[in-house]
Every structure is written in structure tokens, then in C-alpha cells.
């Protein structure tokens, strides 16, 4: 049984672990390069802080530019405006700025620097391919991220693996090729390679920590949506449609995947894996996977060792795991014995 404080604890723990592990990288660099300890730490921490602040400052601008957002004017989409306003008021949130993305893929995301400056963006494909109840469930999910403020933490936290990755690339390249043009009597090339390997390992560890938080926050946002709309089934069907819609999209975006309601790259993997074993899951041998057979397939795929190992590097939980959570909430709602103050108990 979980509650919102556990998500906050997970966010704080993720920040602490990532910062601590990253500080080990700083120590390694200072030690191997024989820098002055205080000067080395001051430079590394200062540079990292500036990088984080820089990404925090320009992050929303980059999202706007890469997704080609179209900010909605008042009255441009009355149903969308009214739906978001209704759910935001219910959640005690300020009205986010609304935008659409000129894309046929069914998706949505939230970004911003603060709760008051948050932007809720929906793809045009989402509005066309989902019914109003499903779109409402997706909107509630995105408002859940605003309520939890997890998108702000993800923006800051994702910088640390990125910095470690850049350090690994630069030092490995410098160590491998920089020492070839000279005798390298002081073994500086080998030292740079060692730093690069350690930096890459730290990149992997911090990346796994960030991805774990990313998956956890999706479950919390799903639970928030279920109780905010009172219709877990709507989000279940929305996630199924979104996953399939993203799987047949011609190209998955390469950046900011963790901010979407569903990761396009992961959706392609999920559906492709099921299609490869279609004959095993087609229980009635009619050549088509019906709802029951597809659910069985997704459950089997989610439980596979490969899927669980691959899940360590995933931005989102497997779709079936999300649907299972929503079904637990739906069963609780059907009993009539539930309350919004216990909305995260099933996470």
C-alpha cells in the first residue's frame, strides 16, 4: 500500500543517490588527474550546477521548438478547455496552459518549470483516435504529474546521467586517440580511459535510478487519473489504443520520452514482441488476437525475464502492468468502498 509521501520519498532518494554516485565520479576525476581536492570539487560541482540550471531554464523552450506546439487561444477548443478546467479545479490546481501538437500519433505530455507555468500538450492524433472519456482520462493523468510535481524533478534529475555520459565520451575519446600522437610517458591516456570507463558505469547506474523513478511516477499518475475521473476503465482503453497507435507510427521521437503518457519506442517493442509470438497467443486459431487473447499475451510478455530486464532501462512500465493497476482500482470502486485519500494504495 502506497501513498503520495512515498512518491516524494522516492524522488528525494533518487536525487540523493544520483548526486552521491555522481560525486564519486568527481572524486575519481580529482584523484586520477591529481587536482587540488577543493578546487577540483568546486569546478566539477559548479559546472554541474550550471549545466542543471541551464537545462532547467531552456528545457521548456527546447520542448516547444522540437514538438512544434500550437498554443490554444481562449475558446479555440471549448470542450478541451472545459474538461481541463473541471479536472484542474477538482485537483486544486491552477489552469495549465493548453497546446496541441500537429502529430497523428496518440500522445500527450506535461512540461514546465513550476506548477503555475505548466503546459499540458495533447497530440492531434489523441483527440482524433480516442473518445472523449478516454481523452479525459489522459488529461487527468497529465494533471497528476502537475499535482505531484514529478516532471520538474525529472527535468533536473535527468541531467546527471547526461553529464556522466558526456564525460565518458570525451575522456574515452581523448584517452584512446589523444595519446597516440605522443609517447604518453605519464600514462595520461590510460588514466583518461579509466576515468571514461568509470564515468560510463556511473552513467548506467544513475540512468537506471532515473528510469525507476520515471516508471513509478507513471503508476502514481495513472492512479490519480482513475480517481479524478472515477473511470479507471477509460484510462485502460486509452492506454491500449495509445500503445497500438504508437506502435504503428512511422518514427518514434528520440528525446523527452519520459514526459509522454506512453513511450513510442517501448510501444513498438511491446507490440512487435507480441506479433512475433502471435501463433502462441491466438488460442482460437482465427488469425486475430481478440481482447482476451491480447490481454493474455501482454501478461505473458510483461512476466518474461527479458521484459523485466529490459524494463530496468524503460521510461514507462509495461502497458499491461499499468492496466493491472487500473483494474485493481476498478474492482475497489465497484465495491463502493473507496475514498480519494487512499487513491495510491494500489501502486
Closest CA to 343 of 212, 262, 232, 269: 232
Q: For cell 500519433, what's the residue?
A: 105
Neighbours of 275 (CB within 10 A): 12
Question: How far, in Å, CA of 239 to CA of 275, rounded?
Answer: 18
**What single string gives the DSSP state of each residue in 119-163?**
EEEEEHHHHHHS-HHHHHHHHHHHHHHHHHTHHHHHHHHTHHHHH
Q: Answer yes or no: are the C-beta atoms of 254 and 67 closer than 8 Å.
A: no
Q: Are the C-beta atoms of 69 and 101 separated by less than 8 Å?
A: yes
End-to-end CA distance of the chain: 7
| Residue numbers annotated as active site | 142
Angle at 318 between CA 293 and CA 245, to 5 degrees: 70
Proportion of the chain in helix, strand, coil states, percent, rounded to 5 = 70, 5, 25
**Which H or E element spans position 25?**
helix 4-32
**C-alpha closest to that of 258 among 135, 125, 128, 150:** 150
Amino acid at each position: 500500500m502506497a501513498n503520495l509521501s512515498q512518491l516524494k520519498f522516492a524522488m528525494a532518494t533518487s536525487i540523493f543517490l544520483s548526486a552521491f554516485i555522481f560525486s564519486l565520479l568527481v572524486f575519481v576525476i580529482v584523484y586520477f588527474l591529481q587536482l587540488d581536492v577543493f578546487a577540483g570539487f568546486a569546478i566539477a560541482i559548479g559546472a554541474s550546477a550550471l549545466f542543471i540550471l541551464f537545462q532547467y531554464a531552456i528545457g521548456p523552450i527546447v520542448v516547444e521548438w522540437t514538438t512544434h506546439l500550437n498554443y490554444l487561444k481562449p475558446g479555440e477548443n471549448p470542450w478541451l478547455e472545459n474538461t481541463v478546467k473541471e479536472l484542474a479545479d477538482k485537483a486544486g490546481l491552477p489552469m495549465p496552459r493548453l497546446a496541441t501538437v500537429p502529430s497523428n500519433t496518440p500522445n500527450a505530455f506535461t512540461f514546465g518549470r513550476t506548477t503555475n507555468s505548466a503546459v499540458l500538450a495533447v497530440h492531434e492524433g489523441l483527440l482524433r483516435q480516442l473518445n472523449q472519456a478516454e481523452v479525459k482520462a489522459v488529461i487527468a493523468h497529465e494533471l497528476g504529474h502537475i499535482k505531484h510535481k514529478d516532471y520538474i524533478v525529472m527535468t533536473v534529475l535527468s541531467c546527471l546521467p547526461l553529464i556522466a555520459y558526456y564525460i565518458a565520451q570525451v575522456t574515452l575519446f581523448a584517452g584512446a586517440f589523444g595519446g597516440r600522437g605522443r609517447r604518453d610517458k605519464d600514462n595520461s591516456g590510460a588514466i583518461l580511459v579509466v576515468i571514461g570507463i568509470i564515468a560510463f558505469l556511473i552513467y548506467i547506474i544513475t540512468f537506471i535510478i532515473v528510469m525507476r523513478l520515471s516508471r513509478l511516477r507513471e503508476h502514481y499518475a495513472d492512479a490519480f487519473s482513475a480517481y479524478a475521473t472515477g473511470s479507471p476503465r477509460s484510462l485502460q482503453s486509452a492506454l491500449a489504443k495509445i500503445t497500438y497507435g504508437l506502435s504503428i507510427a512511422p518514427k518514434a521521437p528520440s528525446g523527452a520520452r519520459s514526459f509522454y503518457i506512453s513511450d513510442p519506442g517501448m510501444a513498438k517493442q511491446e507490440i512487435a514482441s507480441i506479433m512475433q509470438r502471435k501463433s502462441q497467443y491466438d488460442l482460437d486459431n482465427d488469425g486475430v488476437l481478440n481482447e482476451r487473447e491480447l490481454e493474455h499475451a501482454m501478461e505473458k510478455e510483461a512476466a518474461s525475464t527479458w521484459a523485466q530486464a529490459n524494463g530496468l532501462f524503460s521510461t514507462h512500465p509495461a502497458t499491461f502492468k499499468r492496466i493491472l493497476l487500473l483494474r485493481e482500482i476498478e474492482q475497489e470502486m465497484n465495491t463502493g468502498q473507496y475514498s480519494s485519500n487512499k487513491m495510491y494504495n494500489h501502486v
